[in-house]
Chain A
Amino acid sequence: DQQVKQNSPSLSVQEGRISILNCDYTNSMFDYFLWYKKYPAEGPTFLISISSIKDKNEDGRFTVFLNKSAKHLSLHIVPSQPGDSAVYFCAARVYNTDKLIFGTGTRLQVFP
């Protein structure tokens, strides 16, 4: 029973263009959504989050959009850079707990 889904296992984008990573969830009992970035042989690192009461949060080149009616969120990276090449995990926090439910990740490759 996968409550957080990232249906695209990989994405390839040219440097300078926009990268859009998608995430769907099935449970309404989430109060925050987070994106983590992971390089090989390292642990995930926090990138950006959004509260369930908002529909957009922006931090530099990274913007997360939340569509509650569709139970869908997306991460936009613009402009994409080669250093952004990594696996991106979407995560949802169970309401008022420390429990995060992770998706299976999307591998982003940014090529010159």
Chain B
Amino acid sequence: DTAVSQTPKYLVTQMGNDKSIKCEQNLGHDTMYWYKQDSKKFLKIMFSYNNKELIINETVPNRFSPKSPDKAHLNLHINSLELGDSAVYFCASSQDSGGFADTQYFGPGTRLTVL
């Protein structure tokens, strides 16, 4: 019973393709996130959603579009993939406890390779 799950674990695709990564959490959390870890190991937040509402939207190309059909799911769709999109993408979730540093629980990551 994985808390935060992502599919697929590995994704290899050609430049120019469109792909999606799915994320689901069974913790009942209100907030979900997408992070990108690049080749230099920087782990950077891309988006966060709280109860299906976009809260954080960093300076990410608009080829990246998060979609939250319900508060347990946050999918990441990427259009026109580029070589620089190759990275490990992590989904995370947290419970909004009103101002405290809510622990973020991470999924296992999706390694995306763009050829």
B interface bracket (residues with beta carbon within 8 Å of A) = 20 to 34
1/0 contact trace for A10-39 toward B, CB 8 Å? 000000000000000000000110101000
Minimal beta-carbon separation of A103 from chain B (angstroms): 9
Please indicate the chain A residues that have their CB under 8 angstroms from the CB of B103 in the complex. Answer: 46, 49
- Select B33's contact among A32, A51, A93, A98, beta carbons within 8 Å: A98
A89-B101 contact given A43-B107, A43-B109, A99-B48, CB 8 Å threshold: no
Please indicate the chain A residues that have their CB under 8 angstroms from the CB of B96 in the complex. Answer: 98
Task: Please measure, in the bound complex, the distance between the C-alpha atom of A41 and the C-alpha atom of B92, giving whole angstroms.
Answer: 15
The answer on a CB contact under 8 Å between A46 and B104 is: yes
A89-B48 contact given A43-B109, A46-B103, A99-B56, CB 8 Å threshold: no
A interface bracket (residues with beta carbon within 8 Å of B) = 20 to 34
The answer on a CB contact under 8 Å between A43 and B92 is: yes
Which residues of A come within 8 Å of B, CB atoms? Answer: 2, 31-32, 34, 36, 41-46, 49, 51, 89, 93, 96-100, 102, 104-105
Q: List 16 other contacts, CB 8 Å, given A36-B106, A42-B108.
A: A31-B101, A32-B100, A32-B101, A34-B101, A43-B4, A43-B90, A43-B92, A45-B106, A93-B101, A96-B99, A97-B56, A98-B33, A98-B55, A99-B48, A104-B40, A104-B41
